[in-house]
Structure 1
């Protein structure tokens, strides 16, 4: 029995020794430096032989054969070997979400399509009078202001409203000529020749035209002819609807021909004068839609159209004046209000500014 126990013990010892030797050779084979060096050399040789391509660190989808600038952000391209750009290797980081995660995050996707878009150009400025709707009423005769009906600035008037009455002795001679020319036509004998009748008609037409140039209406001229009466007073009337923004005379003032009496502004249309940067000039066109806001009406957006882009750059601010026409029928927009505006620049599918159909037209 002692002999059998000794044999079994020797077998176990030899088994443990065999296991240790096998583990030693296996580990040596796995960590063979010669094999690793050979593999690294092979990879290095493959990398040296692979063609080098160039990509952008911000836009990895850009891959070019030569160094240069990124066509999207204009950054310098970096070298990328072909082995790093294997089609089987995804170089763009991706985020994969389950359907449940997409629903919780509220993520929605749409197919990539080409379509027209718009770019917003921000500008600031202020509201101004529409100069095409400004009317200056000046005296056409010398005399004295006898009566001032519109004696306040800021009041609204309609076309034909009485503004002032002028006393002028010059009116007497012009009215007398009109009455004389009218009587000459009226009392022509039936035997008068066509030449005489034509001359009489010409004299009357000339006298009538002089009265119109002095500011008399057709109704006033007809009244003078019918009543055969003359007066040294003349009524000044509003030539358009609007608001009196300037009053240049008072009652009793003596005036001469051409003296400015009133300035009337029709505020149903206003200009918005904006400052645009030089870098934004290529995105602005005549007829382009502009949205703007004013502090007086927060949350409300007004609309207008570009009517003029100043051809001269301001040498101090390096900006360009952009004039916008805006409707103001309710008269809420006041001159000199500050505005913040955005011009919508339509961009075509190719990424260029859409051509302007209003170029060369009067706005």
Structure 2
């Protein structure tokens, strides 16, 4: 009895041990199935809980166990495991346009010339004949009040005789005498000449013409008149015998009745006749000079009156003049649109000379605008392009550029301050590429 009981207890112990092992094996199998994962042999970063294909290369996923040794993803390995397009995009530097105002400058080339406000014309008050000429060559110094010439004028002789007659016959008629004096003044006589006339009582047959300005004589034609085939002795005689010789009645003397146009040369000779209003002489005062420069029309809005200008002289490397812009005038000539910048030079300087070629730099501050580096813009000839980052890809957009300064270019339109663009637009294309822009 006791022996049977021991056998029964031994059988129960064996059954219990086997059942425990089966239960542990079942739990381990469930756990292994639940932790089973699948990965790509070429891209270990792809891990899924079920079989499938790799989204990168399309290979079938293989099972792997969580109990296996984990692979350490280093920086170099992570770079190699990136998709190709992500690697390229990551290597392209990007930036945003900056809103700012920059100091800018414009290089100009020009010439020194006279201040046109200081070029004066001395006209003939009356018609007559030049008896004696005291100004005979260009750039002859002239002072205010200096005698320029002596002119015989029948009209002036008659006016003098009328004044002498009134003073002698009707001295009480003050109003008429004053009117006659005023007539002489309008004909070019000075108060000193009128007083001398009244003192001597003799009419002068030649009246002196005095300069009302200081400066130098310019525009004189000092060459002799050219002979023409039609100049015959008879024509020459008729020209010398009366006013027709200088008034257009003969070809012997080419001086015309009307005064010469501005900038043309004046021809003065002793013995020639002049008409009322005809320019006798031009006088220029060189105390104030101009420097005139031509600039592109696009720079007109940048340079304003009063902008500082530094002028340099190619033949005098060490000399510089500080001046200011005095006037900006747009021009359109020969199909070219440009502007003329006029700079007034300091009056006390001794460097600038009329006719000198000079260089200048005008500085100014731009208005607040968007600026990007020059290499961020691709010039296609007819337009400029920048590459904007949208949805992970760079797309070309047309931009309008303005002033360029210090490797920066102003963006007038096409970009916003929040846009992200490629820092180097040249990196986005090669020699075989053709950029298409979506309008």
TM-score, normalized by the shorter chain, greater than 0.5: yes
**In the alignment, structure 1 residue 294 sits paired with structure 2 residue 279:** no
User: What CA distance in whole angstroms lies between the structure 2 residues aligned with 1:303 and 1:202?
Assistant: 57
Mark the CA change 1:180 to 1:40 in structure 2 (over 3 Å): closer, same or farther: farther
Indicate the structure (1 or 2) with the bigger Cα radius of gyration.
Answer: 2
Question: Which residue of structure 2 lines up, in the alignment, with residue 275 of structure 1?
Answer: 294
User: What CA distance in whole angstroms lies between the structure 1 residues aligned with 2:165 and 2:277?
Assistant: 28
CA distances 1:202-241 after superposition (whole Å, capped 9, x unpaired): 3233222222222222222222233333101111111211
Mark the CA change 1:328 to 1:229 in structure 2 (over 3 Å): closer, same or farther: same
Question: Which residue of structure 1 lines up, in the alignment, with residue 414 of structure 2?
Answer: none
Task: Choose which of 348, 352, 355 in structure 2 pairs with 1:333.
Answer: 352
Question: Which residue of structure 2 lines up, in the alignment, with residue 146 of structure 1?
Answer: 131
Mark the CA change 1:183 to 1:284 in structure 2 (over 3 Å): closer, same or farther: farther
User: What CA distance in whole angstroms lies between the structure 1 residues aligned with 2:90 and 2:144?
Assistant: 71
Question: Which residue of structure 2 lines up, in the alignment, with residue 86 of structure 1?
Answer: none
Question: Which residue of structure 1 lines up, in the alignment, with residue 176 of structure 2?
Answer: 203
Equivalent pair of 1:242/1:266 in contact (CA under 8 Å): yes
User: What CA distance in whole angstroms lies between the structure 2 residues aligned with 1:351 and 1:226?
Assistant: 81
Equivalent pair of 1:268/1:330 in contact (CA under 8 Å): no
Aligned residue for 1:318, secondary structure, equals strand
**In the alignment, structure 1 residue 254 sits paired with structure 2 residue 252:** no
Question: Normalised by the size of structure 1, how large is the TM-score?
Answer: 0.59
Q: Which residues of structure 1 form unaligned runs of 5+?
A: 1-31, 49-53, 63-70, 74-113, 189-199, 353-363
**In the alignment, structure 1 residue 236 sits paired with structure 2 residue 209:** yes
Mark the CA change 1:211 to 1:39 in structure 2 (over 3 Å): closer, same or farther: same
**In the alignment, structure 1 residue 310 sits paired with structure 2 residue 316:** no
Which stretch of the first structure deviates more once superposed, 229-238 or 169-178?
169-178
User: What CA distance in whole angstroms lies between the structure 1 residues aligned with 2:115 and 2:91?
Assistant: 52
Question: Which residue of structure 2 lines up, in the alignment, with residue 345 of structure 1?
Answer: 364
**In the alignment, structure 1 residue 175 sits paired with structure 2 residue 186:** no
Mark the CA change 1:227 to 1:348 in structure 2 (over 3 Å): closer, same or farther: same
Question: Which residue of structure 2 lines up, in the alignment, with residue 320 of structure 1?
Answer: 339
User: What CA distance in whole angstroms lies between the structure 2 residues aligned with 1:56 and 1:118?
Assistant: 33
User: What CA distance in whole angstroms lies between the structure 1 residues aligned with 2:350 and 2:182?
Assistant: 37
The 5 A counterparts of 1:1-363 are 37=43, 39-40=45-46, 60=95, 62=96, 71-72=97-98, 118-182=103-167, 187-188=171-172, 200-247=173-220, 248-329=267-348, 332-347=351-366
Mark the CA change 1:58 to 1:252 in structure 2 (over 3 Å): closer, same or farther: farther
Aligned residue for 1:147, secondary structure, equals strand
Question: Which residue of structure 2 lines up, in the alignment, with residue 8 of structure 1?
Answer: none
